[in-house]
């Protein structure tokens, strides 16, 4: 416990002398009466010159100082909230808060909405796996930090060591941190979670379809690794057990850290295809395999909530549930629905980037409340850092503190003048208030029948010209009103120009001034 409280705290950053070294205490480490290596803060290094040259006297002062710091850290730990983020994969806007016609039920997600807050206009930064996760964990647009698309087993880059993750920041306040599920920010050891702020990791390093059984490209993939810590423990694991395994680990982690603040990141591999479900839920819904999978994810949410209640942690824990992007529409009956939103995963239309989001914290979040203000996954990091008192990263991030939207008045104004939607390095769209402006770009779309039974249907290339939509009146982005609102177009175009200067735009062959390199696989001679 002491190690946890000191790590990343004021003490660990200001200490430069220790009893073990003997320079400050003049006592061998074996004779120091403290139960852990004691390090002296800067102000004590100056003060010690006036102390009697007695080893016991020096150690007494050091010990008293550290014990006072420990007491302060314990008091702080008792007031810090636990944080749980549940991140589904390809779960679409209409896949939760469902009606009876959906063919499955989500009672635990419905409970989160009833007991917490539902966000109707919550966005991801890009509608694809790695890019979306990078935004969540770093507070940055993914093109700022050089991580695009969906990394696979042949990629030799990943998250840069200099990027500050949500887990790393929370560790500074003594949080225990764990991830159980899909990582997807690089699969080589230097990119894995334990090197980026997490104490424990169990899960897949990338998407569950990147294996030899892929329906169209299996020959391109090696066996799928299941990783614990830094070690591959199994190849091509039984995917029917993934949701159960992740959930069991999550419950044990909560139980093991009930007496200290913890951050649990639970990024499910489902309902990304290929769909798998355990025997507990197989055949239980009226929506086939997809409904069974959503039912099991809902069960997982329920297990987390039940554990928090059983341990008396309900009012001490913030739980956020959301998704990495919209539905993979080409998979038809194995994909969800973003209705009434347009298109799905892999596009900058709202069906791809606007996702379900729920937050629950009894006693802190008004039950049954609804927030209709636009905000984004990039805001999670700065918001939670503000909540627990962690300094914001020194390098530039794109997220804003949205604590008022999360905990305060749901009608509080959004912290953003504009939100930007890139596909790769192409700036496709910008949202400001009720308006969304699309710049001319190509995008993928289904024009024929989607696939069935796990086989994808073909995408075709669509194209939009400059188009403006009033999302309050036209959430499906179907009525272009660009000609009727030239002033809105002018202002939003000016905001987009600022983004291009900072982040670039390959559609205009622009390189941003504020972009950073991803991490690269170390090459040894």
Active-site annotation, residues: 129, 184
Cα gap 108→45, rounded to integer Å: 54
Structure tokens at 332: 């038809």
Name the nearest CA neighbour of 398 among 423, 418, 413, 379.
Answer: 379
How do strand 262-267 and strand 82-88 relate by DSSP bridges?
parallel
Cα gap 367→387, rounded to integer Å: 19
- The DSSP result for 51-103, as a single string, is S-S-HHHHHHHHHHHHHHHHHHHHHHHHHSPEEEEEEESS--TTSSS--GGGS
Name the nearest CA neighbour of 228 among 196, 199, 266, 269.
Answer: 199
CB 341 within 8 A of CB 351: yes
Cα gap 137→117, rounded to integer Å: 22
How do strand 369-371 and strand 117-119 relate by DSSP bridges?
parallel
Structure tokens at 440: 């001319």
Strands (E), 217-293: 225-228, 231-235, 262-267
Cα gap 46→40, rounded to integer Å: 10
List alpha helices for 206-325, DSSP H: 242-256, 288-310
CB 118 within 8 A of CB 105: no
Centroid of chain to Cα 206? 15
Question: How many CB atoms neighbour CB 444 within 10 A?
Answer: 18
Task: Please state at what angle helix 129-138 crosses helix 380-388, rounded to 10 degrees.
Answer: 20
Owner of token pair 């179907």: 478
CB 170 within 8 A of CB 7: no
Task: Please state at what angle helix 288-310 crosses helix 242-256, rounded to 10 degrees.
Answer: 10
Centroid of chain to Cα 293? 21
Cα gap 266→198, rounded to integer Å: 12
Cα gap 261→175, rounded to integer Å: 5
List alpha helices for 258-333, DSSP H: 288-310
For Cα atoms 80, 86, 87, give the angle at the middle one, nearest 5 degrees: 135
Centroid of chain to Cα 305? 19
CB 406 within 8 A of CB 386: no
Cα gap 386→401, rounded to integer Å: 7
Cα gap 257→177, rounded to integer Å: 10
């Amino acid at each position: 416990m002491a190690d946890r409280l000191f790590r990343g705290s004021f003490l660990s950053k200001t200490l430069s002398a220790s009893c073990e070294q003997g320079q400050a205490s003049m006592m061998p480490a074996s004779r120091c009466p403290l139960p852990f290596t004691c390090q002296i803060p800067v102000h004590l290094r100056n003060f010690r010159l006036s102390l009697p040259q007695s080893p016991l006297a020096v150690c007494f002062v050091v010990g008293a100082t550290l014990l006072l710091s420990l007491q302060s850290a314990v008091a702080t730990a008792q007031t810090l909230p636990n944080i749980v983020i549940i991140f589904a994969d390809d779960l679409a806007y209409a896949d939760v808060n469902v009606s009876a016609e959906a063919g499955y039920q989500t009672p635990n997600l419905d409970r989160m909405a009833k007991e917490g807050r539902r966000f109707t206009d919550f966005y991801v930064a890009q509608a694809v796996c790695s890019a979306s996760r990078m935004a969540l964990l770093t507070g940055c647009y993914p093109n700022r930090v050089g991580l695009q698309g969906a990394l696979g087993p042949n990629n030799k880059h990943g998250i840069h060591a200099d990027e500050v993750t949500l887990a790393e920041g929370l560790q500074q306040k003594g949080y225990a941190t764990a991830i159980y599920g899909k990582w997807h920010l690089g699969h080589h050891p230097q990119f894995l979670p334990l090197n980026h702020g997490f104490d424990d990791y169990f899960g897949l390093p990338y998407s569950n379809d990147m294996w030899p059984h892929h329906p169209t490209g299996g020959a391109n993939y090696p066996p799928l690794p299941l990783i614990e810590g830094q070690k591959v423990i199994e190849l091509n694991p039984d995917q029917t057990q993934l949701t159960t395994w992740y959930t069991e680990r999550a419950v044990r982690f909560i139980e093991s850290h009930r007496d200290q603040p913890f951050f649990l990141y639970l990024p499910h591999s489902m309902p990304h295809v290929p769909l798998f479900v355990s025997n507990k839920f197989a055949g239980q819904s009226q929506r086939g395999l997809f409904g069974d999978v959503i039912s099991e994810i809902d069960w997982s949410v329920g297990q987390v909530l039940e554990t928090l209640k059983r341990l008396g942690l309900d009012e001490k824990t913030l739980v956020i549930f959301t998704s990495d992007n919209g539905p993979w529409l080409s998979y038809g009956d194995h994909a969800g629905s973003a209705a009434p939103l347009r298109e799905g995963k892999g596009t900058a239309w709202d069906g791809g980037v606007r996702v379900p989001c729920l937050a629950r914290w009894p006693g802190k979040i008004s039950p049954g409340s609804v927030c209709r203000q636009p905000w984004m996954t990039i805001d999670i990091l700065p918001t939670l850092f503000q909540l627990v008192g962690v300094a914001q990263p020194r390098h530039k991030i794109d997220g804003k503190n949205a604590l008022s939207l999360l905990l305060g008045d749901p009608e509080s104004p959004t912290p953003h003048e504009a939100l930007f939607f890139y596909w790769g390095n192409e700036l496709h769209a910008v949202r400001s208030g009720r308006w969304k402006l699309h710049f001319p770009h190509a995008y993928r779309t289904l024009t024929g029948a989607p696939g069935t039974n796990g086989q994808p249907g073909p995408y075709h290339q669509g194209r939009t010209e400059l188009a403006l939509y009033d999302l309050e009146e036209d959430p499906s982005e179907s009525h272009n009103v660009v000609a009727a609102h030239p002033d809105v177009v002018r202002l939003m175009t000016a905001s987009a120009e600022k983004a291009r200067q900072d982040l670039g735009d390959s559609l205009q062959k622009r390189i941003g001034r504020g972009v950073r390199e991803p991490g690269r696989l170390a090459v040894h001679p």
